[in-house]
Amino acid sequence: MSYDPQPTASHFIDGAYVEDTNGTPIPVIYPATGETIATLYAATPAIVEQAITSARKAQAAWAAMTGTERGRILRRAADMIRERNHDLSVLETYDTGKPYQETSVADATSGADALEYFGGLAGSLTGEHIQLGEDWVYTRREALGLCVGIGAWNYPTQIACWKAAPALACGNAMIFKPSETTPLCALKVAEILIEAGLPAGLFNVVQGMGEVGQSLVTDARVDKVSLTGSVPTGRKVYAAAAEGIKHVTMELGGKSPMIVFEDADIDNAVSGAILGNFYSSGQICSNGTRVFVHRDIKEAFLARLSERLENAVIGDPMDPDTSFGPMVSERQMQIALDYVAKGEAEGARLIYGGKRIERDGFYMQPTVFADVKDDMVIAREEIFGPVMAVLDFEDEAEVMARANATEFGLAAGVFTQNLTRAHRVAARFEAGTCYINTYNDAPVEAPFGGMKNSGVGRENSKAAINHYSQLKSVYVRMGDVEAPF
């Protein structure tokens, strides 16, 4: 190991590492070997209390600073993250098992983008002036107060930064609870923010399972909850937040369609399908896991896909040549393998992979099913693993109806050379993030989030500002006040 991934302590509160070994132990398992590489402890009620008290105490002074001052700190943190990209990427690989080839370009770097972008926006956040004859109203854009971020395990650095950056830019404090499966990376984000000059208490990290998340969400001192997780967890967290009429952002799961028309560039479509199913070993919320391929090109598409899959370099995720790593946990691998068995039982044609790879760690092969039917379980449920379902279609109206016939609405993609068809299809997709002749790009400048059961609110872009701030209207009368008596 290039360095010891065991952090100084489990939690980061009020600018410093804090430990409480009375909490439930959380082993951190390196997915590539199955070894325990660190042990942390879930937050006890005393730790949660400490995190809330320190965040509440720090927030008012932070909100009173100018946006430019706040933004400068975030941008400094972005620079520091970029300078330390190598070590942060290695840690991300320890936490998640994703290949260094990916983590070195997609995780800390994406977190830095968010801090830089929202750091840049912070100084230009404004309200507006509304003239009403001689009177006027002005609006103040104010912070919400204390925001709680709860993360999934697939992008621990990125998720922490995508939530912290807009929250802090708007003058809020944030308590972040990482997934118990990947608790390491957010602690580094906290360390760096403090080193960059963030006042203590404004970004606290507490570890724990669902109960710790629940205790934060139900606390009356919390004003907003932003969750990245599955739809069932989203339902619980949204309901708990509703009890306290709290603001929410819900970034939930998906089962997104990718439609490949007969005129598509087949190699590009195959590239899109590979990115949208096998990057991060398929553990990406917006993955296009229902690949609808026009009947005329289906066999050509499948042949090219199988050829390209032979080029996957499966192995040690720390080796920069490795392009396909293990899954995050034994449990997640087992879930994906169970779906493979369901696909076979339902009569889908397994054309590639489907098996656990015989080596240490939680590796399974990239897997492709063809001849998948809409009602099969593998076409309806989110698998969150490297399992692609290829479905046939013949005409646009039919495929649009089938693509949209899902409870989810996170993402969708279309591959075609026909310009008007591409935009027509994008307009008809019931999904928050759509792609034309590409898949799974997520630049910080563009809104990201789901429709239907895939979520509420948007991350990234100027749109995120509306989810981390609120408007106050101030009415100013210039003349006398008229009253009826």
Q: Which amino acids are annotated as binding site, given as ranges?
A: 29, 95, 151-153, 177-180, 245, 253, 285, 382, 452, 455
Of 15 and 450, the one with the shorter C-beta distance to ligand NAD is 450
Binding residues for NAD(+), by number, are 151-153, 177-180, 253, 285, 382
Residue 369, interface with ligand NAD (CB under 6 A)? Answer: no
Residue 285 and residue 384: Cα distance in Å, rounded? Answer: 7
Which is the catalytic residue, given 98, 251, 298, 396?
251
134 is catalytic: no
Q: What are the structure tokens assigned to 225, written together? A: 């909850």
Applying CB under 6 A, the span of 3-11, 43-51, 251-259, 263-271 interacting with ligand NAD comes to: 251-259
Residue whose C-alpha is closest to residue 111's, from 74, 148, 147, 145: 74
Three-state SS annotation for 328-361: CCHHHHHHHHHHHHHHHHCCCEEEECCCECCCCC
Q: How many CB atoms lie within 10 A of CB 362?
A: 26
Site membership for ligand NAD, residue 218 (CB under 6 A): no
In angstroms, the CA 334 to CA 312 distance is 21
Which of 102, 285, 298, 434 is an active site residue? 285
Please identify which residue in 201, 253, 257, 409 interacts with ligand NAD, judged by CB under 6 A: 253
CA-nearest of 362, 5, 438 to 182 is 5
Which lies closer to ligand NAD via its Cβ, residue 177 or residue 294?
Answer: 177
- The residue whose two tokens read 């310009």 is 419
Contacts of ligand NAD in 230-249 (CB under 6 A): 230, 233, 236-237
Among 272, 282, 366, 455, which residue sits at the site for ligand NAD (rule: CB under 6 A)?
455
Please give the residues from 297 up to 356 whose contact with ligand NAD meets the rule CB under 6 A. Answer: none
Q: What's the closest the beta carbon of residue 212 comes to ligand NAD, in angstroms?
A: 7
Distance CA 148, CA 50 (A): 14
Give the pair of three-digit tokens for residue 20: 């409480």
Q: Which stretch binds ligand NAD (CB under 6 A): 27-35, 39-47, 165-173, 212-220?
A: 212-220
Which residue number, 145 or 253, has a Cβ lying nearer to ligand NAD?
253
Counting contacts by CB under 6 A, is residue 447 touching ligand NAD? no
Stretch that binds ligand NAD, among 210-218, 319-327, 338-346, 348-356 (CB under 6 A): 210-218
Per CB under 6 A, 210 contacts ligand NAD? yes
Indicate whether 457 belongs to the interface with ligand NAD (CB under 6 A): no
160-179 positions binding ligand NAD, by CB under 6 A = 177, 179
> Cα separation of 394 and 206, whole Å?
51
285 contacts ligand NAD (rule: CB under 6 A): yes
The active-site residue out of 163, 188, 224, 255 is: 163
**Would you give the end-to-end CA distance of the chain in angstroms?**
80
Phi, psi (deg, nearest 5) at residue 7: -75, 165
- Residue pair 224/147 in contact (Cβ under 8 Å)? The answer is yes
The residues that bridge with 392 in the sheet, in sequence order, are 293
Q: How many CA atoms lie within 13 A of 264 on its CB side?
A: 30
Among 33, 53, 214, 466, binds ligand NAD (CB under 6 A): 214
**Residue 217 interacts with ligand NAD (CB under 6 A)?**
yes
Which residues make beta-bridge pairs with 260? 293, 415
Site residues for ligand NAD, 102-161, by CB under 6 A, read 150-154
State how far the Cα of 445 lies from the Cα of 460, in Å rounded to an integer. 6
Instruction: Return the number of the residue (62 or 435) whose C-beta is nearest ligand NAD.
Output: 435
**Phi, psi (rounded to 5 degrees) for 449:** 165, 175
The binder of ligand NAD chosen from 229, 282, 354, 386 (CB under 6 A):
229
Name the residue nearer to ligand NAD (CB basis): 225 or 465. Answer: 225
- Comparing CB distances to ligand NAD, the nearer of 376 and 410 is 410
Active site residue 147: no
CA angle 213, 217, 220 (to 5 degrees): 140
Task: Please give the torsion angle defined by the CA atoms of residues 460, 462, 464 and 469, in that order, rounded to the nearest 10 degrees.
Answer: 150
Q: Is 224 designated active site?
A: no
Supply 336's token pair. Answer: 């994906």
Q: State the nearest-atom distance from the C-beta of 11 to ligand NAD, in Å.
A: 14
Structure tokens at 296: 């005329």
| Helix%, strand%, coil% for the chain, nearest 5 | 40, 20, 40
Query: What's at 128, amino acid-wise?
Result: E
Q: Rounded to 5 degrees, what angle do the CA atoms 152, 458, 456 make?
A: 75
Going by the DSSP 8-state scheme, the letter that residue 135 receives in this structure is: E
* Number of chain residues interacting with ligand NAD (CB under 6 A): 29
Tokens of 269: 């479509």
Report phi then psi at 461, rounded to 5: 65, 180
| Binders in 407-436 for ligand NAD, by CB under 6 A | 410
CB of 256 to ligand NAD, least distance (A): 10
| Minimum distance from residue 369 beta carbon to ligand NAD (Å) | 20
Among the listed residues 10, 44, 101, 228, the single contact to ligand NAD using CB under 6 A: 228
98 is catalytic: no
Catalytic residue ranges: 163, 251, 285, 459
Residues near ligand NAD (CB under 6 A) are 150-154, 177, 179-180, 209-210, 213-214, 217, 228-230, 233, 236-237, 251-254, 285, 382, 384, 410, 450, 455
